[in-house]
Structure 1
């Protein structure tokens, strides 16, 4: 099972010609590990999931697998999603034979499956990966909204350990009435409205801003969870970080800051970064 309450959704490094920079990505994850971060999400968030083709995703999986320190000491979650189920199945099979800790299972963009089709898709991918699975519902990006009924049904699968909900945060209160599992968790996707989300019942964080200041964001979230007082100075510092990330395109902002700090994260894949 996935034990960490906080993970950082890391950007993917690219060269100037937009080709995949595996080593740059691995080096950045190693940096977070040395900072004391215990969990990362790779190829799952920051909007880059669907710019990677199947070959590139499997290359990332294989490169992570040979990083013994990371694989043995970090909780590494890998994003699995594709507009074609067949490709998601191939990626899930590749992950099943590794020490990757779990998957974030996203839904196909644009094609708008029915709830029934999405349930079959989900169960199939889980069976192929045989890994602890976080469901990822992001209707703004995909056009598809996994229903409360569907999530409740999927929660009966032991390998389904939680939901990353980027749609209606009020859905969490409904789900808590339907799902009677203490080990089913609710992941906030990024830091927008984070305090309100914690009050709604979100108990884990898939962090974007943690790329800028990993320990500060982690400590801030942990204080929210236990309702510890946050000083005015802490709030001011956190707000500066949030503004760095969210004014404009978050992934563009992240890569700009990380590149300035000496990490070889490179460019974004156009049209992202055109301005």
Structure 2
């Protein structure tokens, strides 16, 4: 099972020609580990997942596998999604025999499967990966919205540990009232409106800003969960961090900040960052 309440959704590093920089990605994960981060999501979010082809994703998995210190001491979650189910299946097969802790299962963009098709897609990939699975519902990016009924149905599978960005308050309440498990979690995607999301029932965090200040974000989230007020100084620091990351394009901002830290995250793949 996945036990960490917070994981950092790490960007993927690219060279100036937009080719994959595997070691830059690993360097960033190592740096987070040195700062005490216990869980990361790789190739899962930050808007880059569907720019990576199957070969590139497999390269990252192979690189992670030789990082014994990281795989032994961190929960490494790997993003699995593809516009073609067969490619997602190949990725799931490769992950099955690794030390990767779990997967975040995204839905294909643009094609908009039916709920029944999405259920079969989900079940097939989970069967092949045999890893704890976070469902990733992101209708703004994909055009597909996993229904309340589908989430409840999928929650009956032991490997399903939760869902990222389930939806609005009414949908979260409906799911919570229908699921008979205490070990099913609701992950907030990023820190925007975090306090409101926690009030809606979200109890875990897939962090973006944690790439910059992981300790600060983790402490803030814990206080939000426990309904503790931040000091004026803490509030100012969080506000400043949110402005650094979310004012404009978050992934472009993140890469610029991490590059300035001396870690070679490089650029984004155009059209992102081409202004």
- TM value normalised by structure 2: 0.99
Larger displacement relative to structure 2 (243-252 or 145-154): 243-252
Q: 1:122 — aligned with what?
A: 122
Contact 2:166 2:172 in 1 (8 A): no
Contact 1:139 1:166 in 2 (8 A): no
Which consecutive unaligned segments of at least 5 residues does structure 2 have? Answer: none
Q: 2:2 — aligned with what?
A: 2
User: Given the alignment of the two structures, is residue 39 of structure 1 paired with residue 39 of structure 2, yes or no?
Assistant: yes
Instruction: Kindly report the root-mean-square deviation, in angstroms, between the aligned alpha carbons of the 2 structures.
Output: 0.8
Which consecutive unaligned segments of at least 5 residues does structure 1 have? Answer: none
| TM-aligned CA distance change 1:46 to 1:166, over 3 Å | farther
| TM-aligned CA distance change 1:180 to 1:42, over 3 Å | same
> Distance in 1 between the 2:254 and 2:65 partners?
25
The C-alpha deviation readout for 1:27-58, integer Å capped at 9, x for no partner, is 11000001000000000010000000000001
Contact 2:104 2:133 in 1 (8 A): yes
Structure 1 segments (4+ residues) deviating >2 Å = 166-170
Query: Structure 2 matches for 1:101-140, cutoff 5 A?
Result: 101-140=101-140
Contact 1:139 1:167 in 2 (8 A): no
Query: Structure 2 matches for 1:227-266, cutoff 5 A?
Result: 227-266=227-266
Q: CA deviation at 1:229?
A: 2.2
Query: Structure 2 matches for 1:82-231, cutoff 5 A?
Result: 82-165=82-165, 167-231=167-231
The C-alpha deviation readout for 1:78-134, integer Å capped at 9, x for no partner, is 000000000000000000010100000000000010000000000000000000000
> Distance in 2 between the 1:141 and 1:169 partners?
20
Q: 1:77 — aligned with what?
A: 77
- TM value normalised by structure 1: 0.99
Q: 1:16 — aligned with what?
A: 16
